[in-house]
Amino acid sequence: MIRVAIVGAGQAGLSVSHHLTRLGVEHVLLEAATPAHEWADSRWDNFTLVTPNWHCRLPGHVYEGPDPDGFMTRDEVVAWLDDYVRSFDPPVRTHTRVVEARERDGGGFVLDLETPDGPDTLEADDVVVATGGYHRPIEPAFARAIDPSVTQLHSQQYRNADQLPEGGVLVVGTGQSGAQIAEDLHLEGRQVHLALGDAPRVARFHRGRDCMTWLADMGLYDTAVAQYPGGLAAREKTNHYVTGRDGGRDIDLRAFALDGMRLYEPRPRRRGDHVGRLGHRLPARLPLAAGRGVRRDGTPDAHARRDRGARPVLRRPAVDAHVGVRTVPRRRSRRGARRAVHRRRAALGARGGLMRIGAVAAHFGRDLDRALAKVRAIIDSARADGVELLVLPDATLGGYLTDLRDPRADLPPTLAQDDPRLAEVAAAAGDMVVCLGYTESAEVDGEQLRHNAALCVSGDGVLGRHRKVHQPLGESLVYAPGDRFEAFDTPLGRLGMLIDYDKTFPESARSLALDGARVVACLSAWPASVTDRASRLPQDRQSRLFDLYDSARAAENQVVWASSNQTGVLGGLRFLGQAKVVGPGGDVLARTWSKGGIAVADVDVEHEVARSRRVLHHLDELRPDSYVTTGREPS
């Protein structure tokens, strides 16, 4: 007879064991497999926690790793739980399944066990059942009616795309697992058909904080199930879908639909249906935002207002981001916009050194008037969202070239440095800092030259200029190159600018960082591969390089990186989009995909740059004497 038997050695059973060990209560854990095996055995390869790491707080074992706001991968969770087991060596009988528990005459329980040595029994005064709620997959009845030639997997069995035969895949359900698995398959290049459920989506970050951090602050995780509105029925409610992948981000089914995933609306079963029916296919530009995109915006704000006395609105000054992928432009009245700015500015006071940075992915063609109107609309919309530094693409005014090999046929219009349209952009910028690209005409020694140029302005006028230095393919046929990289001061701190191909050369960003830039704005009109274009933009080799350079240049130089790009098609060039904001560790804080939008992130630039340079300071530890810089032919 033992004092306590705990059935199941998942994290719940282990936690009970930890408490009993501490209290000196004799007990045993009976585990059908091995401790915490569910995490290793029932999660897919690219699995990450949906809850931030700081949530991992078992009795006597709190996550103390380097990334409390990150999301552990499957293997990291397994290692973290293994550490827990090792830390107090709980008394576990592994591969021992409890098949029945009976009350014993005179008190206590008799447990019938299946063990590797055959059936056994155990008597215990008390039994704690900690068998979890997820290890028995729920299979809908219609699954059995599907033709056996169709491979079927339950989410519990899913590991990766290679398990499935080639071709399209139907994912049924958009709870947390369904939405993440659909994304996993989509990113692996599979044609995914997704049958939507009724789980709502949630923005991963709201006002720079993780949605679950908000929920914790609001006391949700301290509320007993019975106290939820609706009581115990709350247990049946489907969670919001969101992911911890890539450092945590939204799952935006609309973006996937635009990128080729096929979505089907839920359709009630009819009598006589043997197989579940797919509802209508939703159009790619589906109104999911209105219908399903339930954001929790109001609630955390209301909480923050109520609770302001108790804690600051933003507790963590760390790098935070929310991805605002929005089709621009969005109109607001000027008065509404001004009011919103005042609100944001007031909030900024509470945000300490946080700067809201917006990097734009958008299409701009040859029509200067249209481009100017679009720029004004984007600035208005970004201002209403509290953006302080806005980075528009290269060639915002007038568009880029249409053919890189022979660009002479269709050239963008040029603007002199004193063109009134540039002054109009500065006036529209007001107290924001705005970077944009255009084709500059300049007279040098009586010769009229054109430059691919970037301009940084605020309402006070021009803050900085850059002329593209590095020229791919035939660009040199129509543009004169720039000859320097110089940082400049802005009201938001020291900034540097690069254009497109400049970022391929590490020396460009390095020069700006050495010149004191804390933020580098990289303005692009970066097209998909000219020689070998992939059918899907995210798989194009130029997409890969574009992303790689953004992260590498930020990390090498320990600076914040705001990368904009053109989208859409101009002549023979198809532009990649993929605007993003990258932190000084190379971590992508916010990004858009191949369609238009603004990637918005709140970054405490000084704090984050200083933090990343505290131990390893790349600029201080340079060894310029060892480097070959000029004068040697490449071998």
Ligand X SMILES: Cc1cc2nc3c(=O)[nH]c(=O)nc-3n(C[C@H](O)[C@H](O)[C@H](O)COP(=O)(O)OP(=O)(O)OC[C@H]3O[C@@H](n4cnc5c(N)ncnc54)[C@H](O)[C@@H]3O)c2cc1C
Residues that bind ligand X (CB under 6 A): 7-13, 30-33, 37-38, 43, 49-51, 97-98, 130-132, 134-135, 177
Shortest CB 49 distance to ligand X, Å: 4
Cis peptide before 329 (omega within 30 of 0): yes
Q: How near is the Cβ of 274 to ligand X at its closest, in Å?
A: 28
Task: Give the nearer residue to ligand X in terms of CB position, either 117 or 369.
Answer: 117
Residues 81-90 as b or e (16 or more Cβ within 10 Å = b): beebbeeeeb
Least distance in Å: CB of 417 to ligand X? 54
Tokens of 98: 């409890």
Give least dist CB 47 to ligand X, A: 7
Total count of residues recorded for the chain: 635
> CA-to-CA distance for 319 and 354, rounded, in angstroms?
9
Residue with smaller CB distance to ligand X, 51 or 238: 51
Name the minimum Å distance from CB 67 to ligand X.
15
Q: 581 near 560, Cβ under 8 Å? A: yes
- At 626 the three-state DSSP class reads helix
- Between 93 and 421, whose beta carbon lies closer to ligand X? 93
For ligand X, the closer CB: 220 or 346: 220
Closest CB 132 distance from ligand X, rounded Å = 2
Query: What is the 3-state secondary structure of 444-500?
Result: ECCEEEEEEEEEEEECCEEEEEEECCCCCHHHHHCCCCCCCCCCEEECCEEEEEEEH
The structure tokens 């200029």 sit at: 465
User: 618: which 2 tokens?
Assistant: 């790349």
Residue 307 burial (CB < 10 Å; 0-12/13-18/19+)? middle
| Alpha carbons within 13 A on the beta-carbon side of 132 | 20
Please answer whether residues 319 and 226 qualify as being in contact, where contact means their C-beta atoms are separated by less than 8 angstroms: no
User: Smallest gap, in angstroms, from Cβ of residue 108 to ligand X?
Assistant: 18
Nearer to ligand X, 8 or 70 (CB): 8
Chain position whose Cβ is nearest to ligand X: 10
Nearer to ligand X, 84 or 485 (CB): 84
Q: Which residue number, 6 or 469, has a Cβ lying nearer to ligand X?
A: 6
What is the C-alpha to C-alpha distance for residues 262 and 68, in angstroms, rounded to an integer? Answer: 35
Please identify, using beta-carbon distances, which residue of 132 and 168 lies nearer to ligand X.
132
Smaller CB distance to ligand X: residue 99 or 477? Answer: 99
State how far the Cα of 277 lies from the Cα of 358, in Å rounded to an integer.
Answer: 42
Token pair, residue 395, equals: 């060639």
Mark 18-50 as b/e (b = at least 16 C-beta within 10 Å): bebbeeeeebbbbbbbebbbbbbebbbebbbbb
Kindly state the smallest distance separating residue 97's Cβ from ligand X, in Å: 4
CA distances from 415 to 298, 373, 566 (A): 45, 16, 19
For residue 160, the minimal CB distance to ligand X (Å) is: 14
Minimum distance from CB of 473 to ligand X (Å)? 47
Q: 110 vs 545, which CB is nearer to ligand X?
A: 110
